[in-house]
């Protein structure tokens, strides 16, 4: 019999299959094993500290070991860890629902008035798309033909089969095509590599014309359009030009197509306002939220919808208009308690007010990187930034994926005490909103050095 693995590293390599990871590579390298965290820092089992530059994959908001969230969870633990929302209710899920609706409506997302809980971003999107589809079926008549979805190129809405059907990142999604339902696709507002070869603002948002054409011609068969509002996150933090989201909302209204705004990545202050939709005064019909909802503590998600959609499902039991969907951990009390504490910290500490000067600082820190010979574009919205590395700046030639420019840059940053994870050639900076200005400066300085080491300064 083979020798049993002894160290943590050996056990990891023996038993775990890591997400989005080439495991042959993983087992040939030394993994970083995180033991603890505090504020914006992670500490590994070798006592090395790192700035958590991507908020533990875009979830952390107020830092690690935030006392008020720790306490909210332990207090709830003394009552009950979990009970179900299927046929029952529980206290934290009720109080959180009220808070979330107030939060959305307070930000001008006035049409959202009901909450459906689940436990991750993919399921929150899945719920939204099933509701949109089901809604039109319940409306009946000619609306029964509204069964399709319009989505944007480069979109990412999660990893379940339904949410992958809405996705547009070939590297992740192409292989599954035979399993998926077919979505209609419109160009993304990717200004740096403009899909219609124009320049903002002279383009007058020409990239929307294709979406408009599809809506105009096929709205009778389209249930909903889904977008990542303002920032297409997994596409490499592609920031939509001002006015884009607003136009999409207008078109969806005009053609009687529901708008799903996937705020899973952008929600909870990441873009400088509580929800990205607020930047353009847009109120979606369906809004999935997850990642930051618990401040990065526990898996919880919600899909916010309008009363109009909710009402369509009302009827006598025997009509079977029920939304037959639910997960075992729906409305988990510990997660909801953490989420309530998360939102209360925003209120008590003025998180969003304090954030504004950090956003300005990040902008000024990133500015010199724009001149770098191997940086094609620096994109930023709020405390989210994407730095697109290119092999040839003048021609915008990307590095080939095999060159691993992004991965190697992040490994260099890691040596210098900054934990990052790239998306292809794009270096993502997405620290907790609570990061100090000192650490923000440190983060950008290390990032610049890491890029120099990999790409050279010439
Ligand atoms: C991360 C993400 C999802 C999926 O969320 P999971 O919790 O990872 O399932 C969906 N939509 C967007 C925009 C995301 O960034």
pLDDT (0 to 100) of residue 458: 55
Considering the segment(s) 32-65+351-455 as one domain, its CATH architecture is Alpha-Beta Complex (3.90)
pLDDT digit string, tens, across residues 61-101: 999 999 999 999 999 999 999 999 999 999 999 999 999 99
Q: Is 265 in the pocket of ligand 1 (CB under 6 A)?
A: yes
Q: Which residues contact 359 (CB under 8 A, 6 or more apart)?
A: 272, 380, 382, 383
> Distance between CA atoms of 458 and 450, rounded to whole angstroms?
14
**Average pLDDT value for the chain:** 96
Residue 248, judged by CB atoms within 10 A of its CB (0-12, 13-18, 19+), counts as buried
Q: Number of H helices and number of E strands within the chain?
A: 15, 16
Is residue 355 within 8 Å of residue 382, measured between CB atoms? yes
Q: Is 118 in the pocket of ligand 1 (CB under 6 A)?
A: no
Distances (CA, A) of 66 to 37, 39, 436: 10, 7, 14
> Distance between CA atoms of 404 and 259, rounded to whole angstroms?
36
pLDDT digit string, tens, across residues 238-295: 999 999 999 999 999 999 999 999 999 999 999 999 999 999 999 999 999 999 999 9
CA angle, residues 29, 33, 37, in degrees to nearest 5: 145
Q: Is 157 in the pocket of ligand 1 (CB under 6 A)?
A: yes
> Distance between CA atoms of 87 and 107, rounded to whole angstroms?
31
CA angle, residues 152, 247, 362, in degrees to nearest 5: 75
> From the CA of 316, how far away is ligand 1's center (Å)?
35
Q: Where in the chain is the domain with CATH 3.90.1150.10?
A: 32-65+351-455
> From the CA of 263, how far away is ligand 1's center (Å)?
9
Residue nearest to atom 8 of ligand 1 (CA): 121
> Distance between CA atoms of 320 and 313, rounded to whole angstroms?
9
- Tokens coding 347: 């209120």
pLDDT (0 to 100) of residue 2: 61
> From the CA of 124, how far away is ligand 1's center (Å)?
9
Q: Where in the chain is the domain with CATH 3.40.640.10?
A: 72-349
- Tokens coding 241: 């030009």
Residue 385, H or E segment: strand 384-389
Distances (CA, A) of 356 to 37, 181, 352, 382, 431: 25, 41, 7, 8, 14
> From the CA of 157, how far away is ligand 1's center (Å)?
6
- Tokens coding 418: 């900054």
> End-to-end distance of the chain based on CA atoms, in angstroms?
54
Helix axes 333-349, 91-106, angle to 10 degrees: 40
> From the CA of 354, how far away is ligand 1's center (Å)?
26
pLDDT digit string, tens, across residues 185-213: 999 999 999 999 999 999 999 999 999 99
Is pLDDT above 90 for 367? yes
pLDDT (0 to 100) of residue 172: 80
CATH hierarchy code of domain 72-349: 3.40.640.10
pLDDT digit string, tens, across residues 297-353: 999 999 999 999 999 999 999 999 999 999 999 999 999 999 999 999 999 999 999
- pTM given for the model: 0.97
Q: Is 384 in the pocket of ligand 1 (CB under 6 A)?
A: no
In sequence order, the β-bridge partners of residue 44 are 34
pLDDT (0 to 100) of residue 99: 98
Residue 392 banded pLDDT, cuts 50, 70, 90: very high
Helix axes 351-366, 437-455, angle to 10 degrees: 30
Q: Is the dihedral of CA 41, 46, 48, 50 positive or negative?
A: negative
Q: Which residues contact 161 (CB under 8 A, 6 or more apart)?
A: 176, 179, 180
Is pLDDT above 80 for 370? yes
């Amino acid at each position: 019999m083979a020798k049993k693995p002894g160290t943590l590293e050996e056990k990891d390599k023996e038993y775990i299959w890591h997400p989005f990871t080439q495991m042959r590579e993983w087992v040939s390298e030394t993994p970083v094993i995180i033991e603890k965290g505090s504020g914006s820092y992670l500490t590994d089992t070798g006592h090395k500290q790192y700035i958590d530059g991507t908020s533990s994959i875009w979830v952390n908001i107020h830092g690690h070991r935030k006392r008020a969230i720790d306490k909210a969870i332990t207090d709830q633990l003394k009552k009950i860890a979990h009970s179900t929302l299927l046929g029952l209710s529980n206290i934290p899920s009720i109080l959180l629902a009220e808070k979330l609706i107030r939060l959305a409506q307070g930000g001008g997302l006035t049409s959202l008035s009901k909450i459906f809980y689940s436990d991750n971003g993919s399921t929150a999107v899945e719920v939204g798309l099933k509701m949109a589809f089901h809604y039109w079926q319940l409306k009946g008549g000619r609306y029964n033909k509204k069964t399709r979805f319009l989505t944007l190129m480069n979109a990412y809405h999660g990893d379940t089969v339904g949410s992958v059907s809405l996705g547009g990142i070939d590297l992740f999604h192409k292989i599954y095509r035979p399993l998926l339902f077919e979505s209609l696709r419109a160009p993304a507002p990717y200004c740096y590599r403009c899909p219609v070869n124009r320049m903002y603002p002279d383009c007058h948002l020409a990239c929307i014309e294709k979406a408009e054409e599809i809506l105009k011609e096929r709205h009778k068969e389209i249930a909903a359009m889904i977008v990542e509002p303002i920032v297409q996150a997994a596409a490499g933090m592609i920031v939509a030009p001002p006015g884009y989201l607003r136009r999409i909302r207008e078109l969806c209204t005009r053609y009687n197509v529901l708008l799903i705004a996937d705020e899973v990545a952008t929600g909870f202050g990441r873009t400088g306002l509580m929800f990205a939709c607020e930047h353009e005064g847009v109120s979606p019909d369906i809004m999935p939220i997850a990642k930051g909802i618990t401040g990065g503590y526990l898996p919880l998600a919600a899909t916010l919808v309008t009363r109009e959609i909710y009402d369509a499902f009302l009827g006598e039991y025997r009509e079977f208009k029920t939304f037959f969907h639910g997960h075992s951990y729906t409305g988990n009390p510990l997660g909801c308690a953490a989420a309530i504490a998360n939102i209360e910290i925003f209120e008590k500490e003025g998180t969003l007010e304090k954030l504004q000067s950090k956003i300005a600082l990040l902008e000024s820190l990133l500015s010199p990187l724009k001149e770098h010979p191997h940086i094609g574009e620096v994109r930023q919205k709020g405390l989210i930034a994407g730095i697109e590395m290119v092999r040839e700046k003048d021609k915008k030639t990307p590095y080939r994926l095999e060159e691993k420019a992004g991965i190697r840059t992040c490994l260099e940053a890691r040596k210098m005490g900054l934990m990052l994870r790239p998306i292809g050639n794009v270096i993502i900076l997405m620290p907790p909103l609570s990061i100090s200005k000192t650490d923000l400066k440190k983060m950008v300085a290390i990032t610049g050095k890491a890029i120099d080491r990999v790409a050279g300064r010439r």
